[in-house]
Structure 1
Amino acid sequence: MTSLTDRYVAATLRTVPAARREEIAAELRGSIEDMIDGRAAGGEDTTAAEREVLTELGDPAQLAARYADRRLQLIGPTYYLAWWRLLKLLLSFVPALVGVVAGLVQATDGDNVGGAVGAGIGAAIQTAVQIAFWVTLVFAVLERTNTKLDLPAWTVDQLPQDRPERQITLADAAVSIGWLVIFTAYLPLQHFLSFVPARAGDGHLPILNPALWSFWLPFLMVVLIATVGLEIAKYRVGRWTLPLVVTSAVLDLAFAIPVIFLMQNDRLLSPELVARFDWLSQPDNLDTVATVTIVATIVIVLWHFAESIIKLRRTAA
């Protein structure tokens, strides 16, 4: 077997239950080998025969669905994979891009940063909903009307490159640790050097309440440092495990609960920062900023927890 067959088998096994992967791998490799031997016996070149056999077997995602007895159908089987791949691609960047643009436009149109953040989040959510609706509707119509799209046929050249069976790569770990280190370092740095100048132009105003240095800010820094340790442990293991999921959830809550509590009680932001901006010193606007921060914190924690559970199930399925 060559690396081409190995890549095909790996791509097929990626979405089948873990308990059946060895059985399916042996069966699939045996079938591929028999088909190649049959073609080679007829005088065909082995390398060319392998490519033709894998092309004949088709898209690994479809083959995996047959092995797992899973229907690739929401609107219909014909264009399911094309619909799913296009939807994932668009949702991966378009809502975020629209949200950032909408937030920047709102911020430049007035002096309400809280409103700008809310406008950006709202625009991103609306865009995601619109994309999901219209893309699904278009493919549903194409499916029901039997419209031929003449999409290019799947070929073995589309197989992903060989990669180790890891859920957590070095690049993923490096990015996560990098952001955590930067964020941890900025907690004390923002007290002396923030992006908010004082009214008199003499120095900068701290973003977070200096009174929190008595306990909460050191506590949050400890949580962030512990999270760095978790990222290192995740990389060494290479995949999510139940202890890692539980530890991650505990650390997320240890960070999120104080942030929510302090923001809800108007204790997170520096009083000098609030007084610096007229719009922020107004109770309604400050409540808006608090609400957006709390909702964003909850969404991030839930998203991270759901992602870890999904990856754990893929490992243990």
Structure 2
Amino acid sequence: MTTTLTDRYLAATLRSVPADRRDEIDTELRASIADMIDGRTADGVDAATAERDVLNELGDPAQLAASYANRRLQLIGPEYYLAWQRLLIVLVSTIPAIVGTVVGVVQATTSDNVGGAIGAGISTAINVALQIAFWVTAVFALLERLGTSLNLPRWSVDRLPDSSARRDTNLADTCASIVMLLLFIGFLPWQHFQTVVGDDGRLPIIDPALWTSWLPVLIAVLLGTIVLELAKYRARRWTGRLVLVNVVLNLAYAVPVIWLLLTDRFFNPDFVAHFAWLRDGGVDTVSRISVVVIVAITIWDIIDSALKAPAPPPNPHPTPPHPHPHPTPTPLIMRLAAV
């Protein structure tokens, strides 16, 4: 028995459709192909050429089988794509940086290899980003294959942003800033109670005496910065008042820390004595570098917030000059002299 192109095409198509539908699809598709071939031969095309043209027009058998089986041929379809994209951007833009920073700080405080600590932090951040991208994509692909509804609200024009109230802050940046601040606040008590030198004794990095003076103040300033981030997000952008508060909070944090670093009151003396490179002048280098970094970040943050704040709008109804200005009042000392 001679096998035709149509037989081979149908065999390739039917192997990818449910078994209980193969006879039905075979009959339907074979009849459609025959009708299309007859239509072309009626126009004068020979049967072999007509058959080849019809099968080429139908396309890849695997794609045709997917349409019969109602099977998606994309990993993330349009119904789920935007939700997948938005969630992935939020997670990848915040979590890897946070985890990498924490790992780098812990490595730097438990070993003398600063370069290795930086490398460990970067490597961890990349690995976390890849894991997030893989698992988020896998979950969304599974949800789509199972036909699980995300119950997302239907889009309408009511959700269009107001062009007159442009937002210069986004949720991802705000969340990232708040998480970093919370991690730093948590690091302060953590370094006090958790040893970082590998022995059984507690050896804080920061001088424990500061808990009765400056550390509570610095924590209060950091909490105030969190409130500032929330206020900035609610206001949609930097405003003049928020810039002023930002200047105050920056100076309230930078000035005490710089003073403590320059007067050798920031680091725990026992912690410095435990490491030879710190004891032999390394702590002075660390302090100077820290001061330069703090000054640079403070100046940059203040300038950046000031540049992003909108300029006050001009007065659309300026007060016209008075036609008969009042005479300048004579100073009291001159009037007394005149008397």
What TM-score does the superposition give when structure 2 sets the normalisation length?
0.44
Higher relative contact order (CA 8 A, sep 6+): 1
Larger CA Rg, structure 1 vs 2? 2
